[in-house]
Amino acid sequence: MKIKSIVFSAGLISLFILAGCKEKSSDGNVSTIAEPTKTVTATALIDELAKRVLGIGLKPIPANPDELKKLTEDVNNTFTEAKIELGKKLYFDPRLSQSSLISCNTCHNLATGGVDGLEAAIGDKWTANPHYLNSPTVYNSVFNKSQFWDGRSPHLEDQAQGPMQASPEMASSKGLIEQRVISIPAYVEEFKKAYGDDVKITFELIARTIGLFERTLVTSSRFDDFLNGDSNALSAEEKEGLKLFADKGCTTCHTGINLGGGMQIFDAQGIYKYKNVGDFKGNANNMVKVPTLRNIEETAPYFHNGKIWTIKEAIQEMGKVQLNTQISDEDAAKIETFLRSLTGKKPAITYPVLPASTQKTPQPIVK
């Protein structure tokens, strides 16, 4: 889908180094020579780095489960174990597609970083996305300010409706999806358990329940531990990469909790070398959703048309296209080291056993 039984755990949960000349002492601490009355420890320097990046807009996933819940829960459809389990089953159920072959998980595979690993998504009748659009990760998508590459959906529940109906994706219809779900007694009982005996099972409620499950797909990382106060969560090399990431201006677009998820002009300072692959140009204002950098080592290929396959090339291409700067191989390697620290811990997922179809269940449409 565009844009586990889940263990819904409680975990649902410019670096300005002090001015003056510095030299490294034999015990590994950093001392100032220009200001001999001050001794700045390595820990203090790390704290300053965390303060700096927090000050320019990066934010951690909250460590406190209650604070995380405030950011992820839909106030109009609060989390319950029954809703999340039902949403997970629907997310994995291929019967929501016309062919009964394609599920949300087909394009947003939770075992492979929440993506399909293809340049352009493949859907119904083995059709490649007509705009040559890449499937963005579903992990942490709750933190995006908008959904889809053109930002046309405001939240996951709305986004979930699109791919189920789109002809090059799941190619189904509202009526067919409702018929298939309602024809399965076990699903009807699960909807009653989740929403009450008087529940009316509609396409919109099905999408809403899928979206609620997707809201739980949060992956906290060592980077979050660092911003939340653990000075030792990142290695020295990762901190150096983070400093470069900020110094180069990457945080202009890759900011907030998701290090992305907002809308920005693409080709701001140059021309993307694969600009003509596909016909996607952004929204009416030529704005494109900035992809999250979380779990980036798991989500290749990169960019809206998936034409770049390595993190290094992605860093250097964005330097030219967005920042009008040449990022050296050495600096790109350092930034990549930092970016790999954004790989987070995935929620525990058990692949669901789906309820059986009945004689009333509309058969697959494969032509």
Handedness of CA 342, 343, 346, 352 (dihedral sign): positive
Query: Which single residue is written with the structure tokens 């959904």?
Result: 147
Strand order in the sheet with 22-24: 22-24, 30-32, 39-40
Is 169 labeled as catalytic in the residue annotation?
Answer: yes
The values of phi and psi at residue 264, to 5°, are: -145, 155
DSSP sequence for 18-54: PSS-EEE-TTS-EEESSSTT-EE-HHHHHHHHHHHHH
For the chain, counts of helices (H) and of strands (E) = 13, 7
Handedness of CA 353, 359, 362, 363 (dihedral sign): positive
Name the catalytic one among 85, 169, 190, 298: 169
| Alpha-carbon dihedral 188, 192, 198, 200, rounded to 10 degrees | -50
Which two structure tokens, joined as six digits, stand for 109?
A: 């595979």
What is the distance between the alpha carbons of residues 244 and 272, in angstroms, rounded to a whole number? 22
Residues with catalytic annotation?
169
